[in-house]
Amino acid sequence: MTGKLSAPPDRAHKTAPAQPEDKPKRGARAVDLRIYRAVFNAVMSQRLPPGTRLAEAELCELYQVSRTTVRRALLRLAHDHILELRPNRGAVVASPAPAEAREVFAARRLLERQIVPAVMRNATPADLTRLRQSIAAEHQACHAGDRANWIRLSGEFHLILAELAGNRVLLGFMTELVTRCSLIIALYDSPGSPMCENDEHQRLVSLIEQGLQDEATDLMERHLLKIEARLRLAERTQKLDLAQALSGQDLP
């Protein structure tokens, strides 16, 4: 853990856009931030698979803090749809159903479709450079075979775009959506699918640079649809799923 560039969203009860926050300010809030990030990264890297139960006492011992602190971190994680909190029964890693996954992707398409033109109105050459740097980092992780980091960096590219749209509220929504999408991808991506995408991010930046708004918007839409299409989101109910899964085993 402790990937130094990991970027779990720090929003929530913060109006200011950004803060240094490099070193723990007073050793106060940094603690539950640490728990938040650790769980966040673990879930995203699939070290904590969906459905995993997170007992409070365990985390207490791991991080040497009281249950009060752990609880706050869990509450935030639940609010961001990374965990699910079941009353009196503890927290488990979220496992969004296919229907929910589709809705998350649909919402994301709806937002990003409109972010592209906003970026084109606002972006400076320096911003485009930033986007290209992000793409470079992404490719690097891709070629290194670091799947977890690739998923994260790939999401980060979209977050930079959202930031360039110049609306912090929108950026907050996109942060939540990208996070949830990453979780869904980690959950449902077909195992054998090729990790590297075919430079759609690169092409998108080019289209933005050239001012081709309709083409850029279109590419964004197709890009997101393609990602969703790769997922194994068979729309079966939990019951059928179970029946199907057992159908090959009951005759020895």
Partner DNA sequence: GCGCGGAAACTTGTATACGAATCCTGCCCG
Partner DNA sequence: CGGGCAGGATTCGTATACAAGTTTCCGCGC
The alpha carbon of 152 is separated from its chain's Cα centroid by a whole number of angstroms, namely 7
Q: Give yes or no for residue 89 binding a copy of itself (CB under 8 A).
A: no
Strand partners, 186: none
Query: Phi and psi of 12, rounded to 5°?
Result: 75, 135
Residue found under tokens 């890297």: 45
- Residue 203 CA to residue 25 CA, distance in Å, equals 41
Q: Give yes or no for residue 212 binding a copy of itself (CB under 8 A).
A: no
Q: Give yes or no for residue 97 binding a copy of itself (CB under 8 A).
A: yes
CB-nearer residue toward DNA: 88 or 190? 88
Q: How far is the CB of 118 from a copy of itself (least distance, A)?
A: 8
251 binds, among DNA, a copy of itself, none (CB under 5 to 8 A by kind): none
Cα first-last separation, the chain? 43
User: Which residues fall within 8 angstroms of residue 208, CB to CB, at 6 or more apart?
Assistant: 116, 119, 120, 123, 128, 216
- Residue 92: which of 146, 37, 126, 49 has the closest Cα? 49
113 binds, among DNA, a copy of itself, none (CB under 5 to 8 A by kind): a copy of itself
Q: Give yes or no for residue 169 binding a copy of itself (CB under 8 A).
A: yes
210 binds, among DNA, a copy of itself, none (CB under 5 to 8 A by kind): none
Residue 118: both structure tokens together: 């906003």
Q: Give yes or no for residue 33 binding a copy of itself (CB under 8 A).
A: no
- Which residues from 11-30 bind a copy of itself, rule CB under 8 A? 12-13, 15, 28-29
- Residue 189: which of 200, 199, 181 has the closest Cα? 181
Q: List residues binding DNA (CB under 7 A).
A: 26, 28-29, 31-32, 53-57, 64-69, 71-72, 85, 87-91
Which residues lie near a copy of itself (CB under 8 A)? 12-13, 15, 28-29, 68, 72, 75, 78-79, 83-85, 87-88, 96-97, 100, 103-104, 106-107, 110-111, 113-114, 167-170, 173, 177
